Amino acid sequence: MAADDDSRTILITGASSGLGAEMARQFADLGYDLGLCARRTDRLEALAAEITATHPDRLVEVRAMDVTDHEQVFTVVRDLAAALGHLDRFVVNAGLGKGAPLGTGGFAANRETAETNVLGALAQTEAAMEVFRAQGRGHLVMVSSMSAMRGLPKTLTTYAASKAFVAHLAEGIRNEQHGKPITVTVLYPGYIASEMNEHVRDRTPYLVSTEKGVRAMVEAIEKEKGSACVPAWPWAPLSVAMKHAPLPVFKKLM
């Protein structure tokens, strides 16, 4: 099916599973044509088949993309923008959650997370903004994390720092584009069930289902909020405590 220039379009990275895959389903339900990227193309193809079976009128384009292959990122984003006709929204979602306490021999895991979540996010954002500047409009959505609110210990140290980078990158673009047709949303997800946290679900407080958590993300995106803790309860009030509580108090919350 050819792209319709009047259709709403969205490109989602890291769409082969978890939050990205569920976002694809929910945005298809809202009438969007989709550009889906991930390393695991077999899962992307299965997701595309699932969506088009439910929504035969939806255009779903899938591409293999490794966000640490920066040249590939630019090639794929340009290709998808052409295939869809235009990009209304771009969700920088692909990420990695590996980590080890610094200085304990886990540099390889920390490096992989930093390369994916920092340089990979930068490449995706550069590619998205290239398309948006050419179009003269667009909506950039950056998926950060509640862990970005404050430096975190042990296995989360590098991950939290990488997600703070994502948030600040988005804030800088919003500052530049304020009052212009390119808008920016930063999402701070709390504990939402996904492959990334399936090994710790039994001891994860406030965990919500993938469907419920992503619904909160999609609602914030559709409203083009500047930033949003999702789901709002309990993460919006907890964000204040995370940012401002004295360290001894904060450590007890962790």
Q: What are the residue numbers of the active site? A: 159
Residue-wise DSSP of 130-145: HHHHHHT-EEEEEE--
**HSE-up (13 A, CA, CB side) for residue 69:** 11
Could you say which DSSP state residue 70 is in?
Answer: H
Q: Among the residues of the chain, which ranges form H helices?
A: 18-29, 41-54, 70-84, 107-114, 120-135, 157-177, 210-222, 232-244, 247-253
22's tokens = 């569920």
| Edge-to-edge strands, sheet with 227-230 | 60-64, 32-38, 8-13, 89-92, 138-143, 182-189, 227-230
Name the residue among 16, 130, 124, 126 with its Cα closest to residue 67. Answer: 124
